[in-house]
Amino acid sequence: MVCAALAGCASQARPRAAAYTAHAEDAYQRLGLSPVQVEQWEDGMRTSGRPGTYEWWYFDFSLDDGSTLVITFDTKDPTRPGAPLQPFVSFKLDRPDGTSVSRTGGGRPEDFSAARDRCEVRLGPNEVSGDLHDYRVIVRIDDVAADLRLHGTVPPWRPGTGYMFFQRKAEHFFAWLPSVPQGALEGTLSVGGKPQAVRGVGYHDHNWGDASMLDLMHHWYWGRAQIGDYSVIASYITATDAYGGSAVPIFMLARDGKIIADDASRVAFSMSGVHTDSFTGKPVADVVVYDYSDGSDRYRVTFHRETDLVRDRFVDHLPGFQGFLARVAGFDGAYLRFTGTATLERFQGQDLIETENQKAAVWELMYFGHAPRS
C-alpha cells in the first residue's frame, strides 16, 4: 500500500483546498513519478488488494455500429475498501436499439493475479494486458465473450501526478491514470453464441485509492469524446461537505494525437437545463460545458444530452437486509450515463474560427451524495 509513503505529499507550506490534484515538484518526487512521462509500471497493480485499498482497470469502447461497451477489472467493490480482496470483472453492452447486455463474473482471490511492472491482470479466463500503447482484453462470462485489441492514438497522460488528495484530520487519496486517452479498437464480440467482428474507438484508465469514494466525493461529471481531429477528456468532481465541497476540475485536449491543453486551472465549468431525474431524484444537466482559455487560444467543449443510457439507483442492487439498512440510513446514490452530441468550438480572441461535432458521444454523472433541496 502506498498511503504511508504519501503522508507528506499534501503537507506543503502553501494553503491548499480540502481536495485537490497534486502537481507540485515535491509531490512527483515523493510518489516516484516523472512530471514529463508516464511509465509502464504505473499501469501495473498499485495496491496490495488488502483491506484499506481498492483498484480497477477500466475500458470503454464506442463501436462503429453505434453500440457502447464498458469492461472493468476490479479488485473489490470500490465503495468498500475495508473488504478483503474480492475480484470481479464486469461487462456492459448497450445497443443503439435500446437493448443492453450486462454480466458480472466474480472469482476467488487465488484466481486473481496482477503484475506490478506493467498492466497484466487475470481473473480466471478473463485477462487484460498492455504496455501503455497496445492492449488486449479477453472476457468470458456465461454466454458473453470478447477478444479485443486497443491501439493508443493519443499518448498516456495523467492530470499532474494523477493523485487527488482529500485533506482533513487524516489524508486520503484517489488516483487516476488515463493510460489510453483514445485508441483504435478491433476484435470480436459474442453474445449468446453469436460472434461478430467489431471496430471502433476506445479508452482505458486505471484507478486506485485508500478510502471509500462515498466518503470523499459528493458527485462528478466525466466524459470523453473524439470530436473531429480532437480528443477530449473532461471531468468536474465535487468533494463531500467533509472536504469543503471543493471542486476538482480535470481537462485534457489533444489534436491529431498530440496533447495541446491540460491545465485544469484554466477551465470554467458550467451547466444548464438542470432538472430532477424522476427515477433517481438527482439533478441532471441537459448541457455541460468546459471552457478552456490559455490567453491566446480558447476551446469550448459542450456535451448536449439527448438520451439516457443508464439510470441506476445503487440500493436497487443491494440484497435483502443490506438494501433495507441502506434505505434506512438514507443512502440514495445513483449513476447516470448519457449519450448525445459533443461540440468543440475554437476561438482566437472573440472570433470563432473552428467548430467540430461528434454524434453519439457518451458521458456520465456519478452522484453519491444527497441532492440539494430546492
Q: What residue spans define the domains of the chain? A: 53-161+175-209, 212-374
What is the grid cell recorded at 70?
464498458
Residue 217, judged by CB atoms within 10 A of its CB (0-12, 13-18, 19+), counts as: buried
212-374 carries CATH number 2.40.370.10 = yes
Other C-beta atoms lying within 10 Å of the C-beta of residue 97:
8
- Phi, psi (degrees; rounded to nearest 5) at 7: -55, -30
The torsion angle over the Cα atoms of residues 281, 283, 286 and 287, rounded to 10 degrees, is -160
Amino acid 330: pLDDT: 54
Q: Is residue 221 within 8 Å of residue 365, measured between CB atoms?
A: yes
C-alpha 311, offset from chain centre: 17
- Phi, psi (degrees; rounded to nearest 5) at 242: -60, -25
Amino acid 209: pLDDT: 97
Residue with cell 467482428: 197
Where the chain has pLDDT below 50, the residues are 1-15, 321, 323-328
Amino acid 71: pLDDT: 98
pTM score, whole prediction: 0.89
Residue 23, judged by CB atoms within 10 A of its CB (0-12, 13-18, 19+), counts as: middle
Amino acid 6: pLDDT: 34
CATH superfamily of 53-161+175-209: AttH-like domain (2.40.370.10)
What are the residues whose beta carbons fall under 8 Å from the beta carbon of 15, sequence distance 6 or more? none
Say if 53-161+175-209 and 212-374 have the same CATH topology: yes
CA distance 219 to 237: 6
Distances (CA, A) of 184 to 147, 200, 207, 252, 278: 14, 6, 22, 18, 37
